[in-house]
Amino acid sequence: MSVAETTTADTVAVRRIQRSDPVFEDVAPAGEVVPGMTRRTILTSGAPLPWHRYRGGQRQAILGAAVFEGLAADEDDADARLASGDIALRPCHDHGAVGSLTGVTTWSMPVVVVHDRANGTRGFCRLNEGGSTESLTFGVWSEGVAKQLAHVRDVVAPAFGAVLRATGGLPVRPVVRRALAMGDDLHSRHTASGALLRLHLLDALVREPGLVPPDARRALAEYLEEAEYLFLHVAMAASKAAADAASGVPGSGVVTAMVLSCDEFALRVSGLGREWFRAPLPPPADLRGRLFDDWTTDDLDYVGGESLITETTGLGGLAAAASFPLQDFSAGTPEAMVELTERMYGITVAEHPEYRIPALRYRGVPCGIDVRAVATTGIVPAIHLGATLRHGGHAGAGLFTPPVAAFRAAADTLTARSGHTGEQP
């Protein structure tokens, strides 16, 4: 395959990311909207593993989700049912969805629904679990977690959905554009985008308080005030919708998914559809960033995570230069963050026409990771990632370096397949 051909295929793929016009349209139970969802399905983050390989926080979250959903009497029962296949454990990405950290999602859990009106795709991500990071998301299962999950499902989500639908939805593109000029990277920092989403909903409620009953209104206001990373799940679902649109272009090496399970990093590229390219995760101690309290990198472990989907559309670590407030949780200094983003232009296919970085004189974010360029240069995508504790819980955030082996495997496969399928001129 010639470079020109590669470029054409990659250009086709990246244009779908660039033109993506996601609208946050609804909040609804996963069972009602996520394709292929069943009452006995649990979605989780990462390329799929045999049940026995899930461990730590991710295993805990899956067991908790089974009990919460009423699919098992207790954790032991859940363990047996997951082992037997009575409960189907499935990767989020095969259902148009993406998972934050553990990513566990069951039938009754509310998800954000983002409709990409330019590409016609939809992306889903579980609605933020609320103010506490003692949550299934972070790999913790407890009575408190169950109570909060039920509150969000039964009180917050219906109110959230009702208000959002009444407004006709929230266009995501203007929010991302504005948030990048307000210090968000849209992965580890959502201070501005969260505020803009909150304004959208509160404004609608002030004009029409009767949209939801008084108690639910107050519960929603409290939730919106407390939920950290309120917009992250929306940005993730929006990126998923764009990435799915970019998938399936023959010959394209544009990355369409990067995921973590507790055990592996994996990725997909456009030209190879749903095939996963896997590599072992680097030691958690390699994470460069800042930890809360007295945690050290020895306390860390992986619990899964698919928020890296934001990097596939040029946000997160790729947009580090837009987010100097994250410096301690990223490359360390503003100068190093600029260097980080500038390095990313060497492994991406294009720049985003609207998502721009003020510190780089409004240059567009690097957009469309080229797996061949990563394989050739050895430069891997810069990823902003939440840090999690060995047995679940939030420990901080940092800069994650994905294993180059996964990118090389995908690049090699692309080359091999193109040789066999007669795609050359």
Q: Which residues make up the interface to a copy of itself (CB under 8 A)?
A: 178, 181-183, 191-192, 195-196, 198-199, 202-203, 205-207, 209, 217-218, 220-221, 224-225, 324-325, 327, 333-334, 358-362
- 1-8: long-range contacts at Cβ-Cβ below 8 A with a sequence spacing of 24 or more? 1/251, 1/415, 1/418, 1/423, 1/424, 2/424, 2/425, 5/251, 5/423, 5/424, 5/425, 6/251, 6/252, 6/253, 6/372, 7/349
Name the minimum Å distance from CB 137 to a copy of itself.
Answer: 24
Q: Which is nearer to a copy of itself, 218 or 391 (CB)?
A: 218
Give the neighbor-by-neighbor strand order of the sheet with 288-291. 288-291, 394-400, 383-388
Alpha-carbon gap, residue 296 to 303, rounded angstroms: 17
CA 72 – CA 348 distance, rounded (Å): 45
The dihedral of CA 391, 392, 398, 400: what is its sign?
A: positive
CB of 357 to a copy of itself, least distance (A): 9
Give, in order, the Cα–Cα distances in Å from 384 to each of 5, 52, 189, 339, 422.
32, 29, 9, 15, 39
Q: Which residues neighbour 171 within 8 Å (Cβ) at sequence distance 6 or greater?
A: 21, 22, 23, 24
Q: How many CA atoms lie within 13 A of 15 on its CB side?
A: 7
- In the complex, the smallest distance separating the C-beta of residue 199 from a copy of itself, rounded to whole angstroms, is 6
Nearer to a copy of itself, 146 or 359 (CB): 359
Please give the Cα distance from 108 to 170 (Å, whole number): 23
Q: How far is the CB of 225 from a copy of itself (least distance, A)?
A: 7
Phi, psi of 208 (to 5 degrees): -135, 75
Angle at 391 between CA 387 and CA 395, to 5 degrees: 25
Nearer to a copy of itself by C-beta: 88 or 195?
Answer: 195
Nearer Cβ to a copy of itself, position 215 or 286? Answer: 215
CB nearer to a copy of itself: give 360 or 405. 360
What minimum distance in Å lies between the beta carbon of 241 and a copy of itself?
A: 26
Q: Closest separation between CB of residue 179 and a copy of itself, Å? A: 9
> Smallest distance from the beta carbon of 218 to a copy of itself, in angstroms?
5
182 or 279, CB closer to a copy of itself? 182
Nearest distance, CB of residue 278 and a copy of itself, angstroms: 37
245/321 with CB nearer a copy of itself: 321
| Residue 129: C-alpha distances to residues 26, 100, 136, 150, 204 (Å) | 16, 10, 8, 10, 22
Nearer to a copy of itself, 76 or 225 (CB): 225
